[in-house]
Amino acid sequence: MNIDEILHTFIAESRELLQDMEDALLRIEQSPTDEELINAIFRAAHTIKGSAGLFGLDYIVSFTHVAESVLDRVRNGELHMAGELVAVLLSSCDHLALLIEHLASGGGEPAAEIQEKSAALIAALHVYLDEGAAQTTGVVVQAELSLHGSSEGGGEVETDLWHISLRFGLDVLRNGMDPLSFLRYLGTLGEIQHIVTLLNDIPATELMDPESCYLGFEISFKSDADKASIEGVFEFVREDCLICILPPRSKISDYLRLIAELPEENLRIGEILLRCGTLTQAELDAALLLQHGDGSEPVRPLGEVLVDAKMVQSPVLEAALGKQKLVKEHKSSEANLIRVDADKLDELINLVGELIIAGAGTNLIAQRVGEADLLESTATLSSLVEEVRDSALKLRMVQIGGTFNRFQRVVRDVGRELGKDIELVISGAETELDKTVVEKIGDPLTHLVRNSMDHGIESAETRLANGKSAKGTLKLNAYHDAGSIVIEVCDDGGGLNKQRILNKAIERGLVSEVNNLSDREIYNLIFEAGFSTAEAVSNLSGRGVGMDVVKRNITALRGTVNLDSIEGQGTRVTIRLPLTLAIIDGFLVGVGSSVYVIPLDMVVECIERTAWENAGGDGRYINLRGEVLPYLRLREHFEVAGASARREYVVVVRHGENKVGLVVDRLLGEFQTVIKPLGRVFNKIGGIGGFTILGSGEVALILDVPSLVRPAVNFETKVQTAAASGLTDQRI
């Protein structure tokens, strides 16, 4: 892998880390003491800084270092993750994203305005560094040690002093060693602040041996030396003594930081503790001997032995175990994932599409020849092609949760701008759909979310006056339904004023005063170009630009959008999209000499003409087992030349909650099909969503079922409304 490929990998990983960092910052406002979130934010900043240093990207390293220092104070409990700090860190996250994009566009020294923004944010971050320094407690020297069982050497140290628990062996004096000389030598490395001489091991006078040493000491020691140096003072008597050296509180914080900064390598727990300095080699060797003992008992975990022997504090051990687990999980995820260029996936899908077309042609030849072995072989081939198709499509499927989570930031920022307290509730984040659809649905969803916040959800005062909670709720939901994905944007705001929308539409000439529109049709008028009922123009909306773009973009994805509202209670926008834009299972039908493809997941059933003619059909509707079903003749809709077939069929299709019958001449069976887009010349043809090539080489048009269902359902609604109001057919 050359340096350019490595740099591109760094850019891609940095984008992912920054997204994770932003998500964690948004969540931490609700849980400011969540250590897991705090550590995730710190790790993201630390990883970006370390990787940027490998490429000599000083402008990224210097900026990230300051942010990392602030986050380190948060981890150590010196700073509280308040709203103002979260806002500064979010701005820092945005700026890091800007620096990464600058690198992606060619790199080089950032422009002056970028450098000015870096300097401003660094100054804002330094405010918290200075505050953190002021909040940090100084060195606390205790006059007396609080010993919990002095013979065991006490518990964890609660001061910024080293605590040395020392028990000399009985034979120290016989071996020519003077205990006091070691204490004097210890003084060369720092200052003994307090010492307690332990006399509880001294036997009765008649039992005392003048050549034996019964002394023990508990020492508070102030020093900048490391643990190995302090342990080295007692090197000559280590085998004859029990020595426990506990670091000061500040040192524990250093150990925790050093553990977090260790490279992601597969290390044993002892190696991690050695590298961060909390454990010396002599202590590790002693602990390993204790761990295995005499072999008569089961081997205990090393960490448990170290804590019991007071060689390592519990927080440090937990941090080391956490680091070990994190590395294993990261390595495991790396082993299970591989980065693939999206263009290569698109090329694969295209090749699979051509394979499907070629396979269909082979099937036709096999059927024409009628050779049993050939038919069996092509059937096996078709089955394998179908599996390859499904596997290829799964490669492009991604969860919509990533898109939904982006709106946490939008809701937070826009809510503050509007002065509204709004909570975003996400459900169905695990719902999967095609990567291309996910990329193209982001902008329409942004329009809808901002519109709900600006026009839908009222101010806190208005909500309280109407008996609602001061905090508004915006919901994003996604789920699968009949081969489609449904996305809902709901708010608990004031809803839409149906009469105002209708009056505005009449004023603009979009509808006439005598039109009998359903509630949904009236609400959906806001998707017309330039339509707006806003009384004032804001930075977010009110210019009549956006909702028509929403509908146009969703229609371009072969989807539909509908709006329902209850005045005073809220609004729901429902988007229905196909799961994939590339390959579908289709159902072939014939009308005259033309062949059409209906998406198979929308087909409910097929019935013969005689069956529905005798069931009460009245020329526009059929009685389908007691259900009134509107139908549409494809021959008339597409103006296919020639007389109708003597034997016709109705294909019942469903889109959402609506069902319609499509009258055709022939049923040709199921067919795996590749969707190919129509040229611009044919874009205005209603009811056609694309085309495909059959195995015979013929072209078949793919029906756009939603656009076929809509007119028939709308006509049915108008008939029912007219009948209810006593209007004649001429006024419909």
pLDDT, tens digit, for every residue of 27-60?
Answer: 887 788 888 888 888 888 888 887 787 777 888 8
Q: What is the pLDDT of residue 330?
A: 61
Place of tokens 């008339």: 636
| Residue 307 in domain | yes
Q: Are residues 242 and 284 in the same domain?
A: yes
Q: What is the pLDDT of residue 572?
A: 92
Q: What is the DSSP string of 268-297?
A: -HHHHHHHHTSS-HHHHHHHHHHHHTTSSS
pLDDT band at 477 (very low <50, low <70, confident <90, very high): very high
Residue 676's DSSP bridge partners are 691
pLDDT beyond 50 at 91: yes
Q: Are residues 407 and 549 in the same domain?
A: yes
Tokens of 564: 């329902």
pLDDT band at 589 (very low <50, low <70, confident <90, very high): very high
Segment 333-355 shows an average pLDDT of 75
- Report the C-alpha gap between 531 and 66 in whole angstroms: 48
| Residue 615 in domain | yes
pLDDT band at 611 (very low <50, low <70, confident <90, very high): low
Q: What is the pLDDT of residue 731?
A: 33
Q: Are residues 402 and 390 in the same domain?
A: no
pLDDT beyond 60 at 716: no
Q: Are residues 125 and 230 in the same domain?
A: no
Q: Are residues 154 and 59 in the same domain?
A: no
Cα 499 to Cα 110, 504, 512, 622: the distances in Å are 54, 9, 14, 35
As for how many domains the chain has, the answer is 5
Domain boundary among 288, 309, 333: 333
| Residue 80 in domain | yes
Higher-pLDDT residue of 244, 515: 244
pLDDT beyond 90 at 630: no
pLDDT tens by residue, 148-172: 333 334 444 445 678 788 888 888 8
- Report the C-alpha gap between 560 and 552 in whole angstroms: 9
Range of the domain at 63: 3-135
Tokens of 365: 């030849």
| Residue 55 in domain | yes
Using alpha carbons, select from 578, 639, 648, 655 the residue that is nearest to residue 613.
648
| Residue 141 in domain | no
pLDDT band at 487 (very low <50, low <70, confident <90, very high): very high
pLDDT beyond 60 at 131: no
Q: Are residues 448 and 311 in the same domain?
A: no
| Residue 145 in domain | no
Higher-pLDDT residue of 252, 416: 416
Q: What is the pLDDT of residue 178?
A: 83
- Report the C-alpha gap between 675 and 352 in whole angstroms: 12
Do residues 540 and 414 make contact, with C-beta atoms less than 8 angstroms apart? yes
Do residues 213 and 168 make contact, with C-beta atoms less than 8 angstroms apart? yes
Using alpha carbons, select from 705, 702, 685, 681 the residue that is nearest to residue 693.
702
Segment 395-409 shows an average pLDDT of 84
Of 122-131, 218-227, 413-422, the poorest mean pLDDT is in 122-131
CB atoms within 10 A of CB 367: 13
pLDDT beyond 70 at 721: no
What's the whole-model pTM score?
0.58
Q: What is the pLDDT of residue 262?
A: 67
Tokens of 521: 């049709």
Mean pLDDT computed over every residue of the chain: 78
pLDDT band at 730 (very low <50, low <70, confident <90, very high): very low
Segment 644-668 shows an average pLDDT of 86
Q: What is the pLDDT of residue 455?
A: 85
pLDDT tens by residue, 463-473: 999 889 999 99
SS3 166: strand
Q: What is the pLDDT of residue 153?
A: 40
What sign has the CA pseudo-torsion 121, 126, 131, 137?
positive
| Residue 178 in domain | yes
Do residues 217 and 234 make contact, with C-beta atoms less than 8 angstroms apart? no
Segment 262-271 shows an average pLDDT of 72
Q: Are residues 666 and 643 in the same domain?
A: yes
Q: Are residues 613 and 718 in the same domain?
A: yes
Q: Are residues 355 and 316 in the same domain?
A: no
| Residue 98 in domain | yes
Q: What is the pLDDT of residue 318?
A: 78
Place of tokens 């990567």: 435
Q: Are residues 521 and 546 in the same domain?
A: yes
- Residue 19: give its domain's CATH number: 1.20.120.160
Q: What is the pLDDT of residue 478?
A: 92
Element (DSSP H or E) covering residue 585: strand 583-591
Domain boundary among 377, 396, 415: 396
pLDDT beyond 50 at 134: no
Segment 191-210 shows an average pLDDT of 82
- Report the C-alpha gap between 703 and 721 in whole angstroms: 29
Domain boundary among 549, 578, 607: 578
Do residues 562 and 518 make contact, with C-beta atoms less than 8 angstroms apart? no
Q: Please tell me which of 11-25, 153-167, 248-262, 701-715 the model is most confident about, judged by mean pLDDT.
A: 11-25
CA angle 485, 486, 491 (to 5 degrees): 155
- Residue 677: give its domain's CATH number: 2.30.30.40
Place of tokens 């000499």: 593
Q: What is the pLDDT of residue 351?
A: 86
Place of tokens 């072939």: 588
Q: Are residues 587 and 567 in the same domain?
A: no
- Report the C-alpha gap between 468 and 569 in whole angstroms: 10
Q: Are residues 76 and 179 in the same domain?
A: no
Tokens of 506: 């009449």
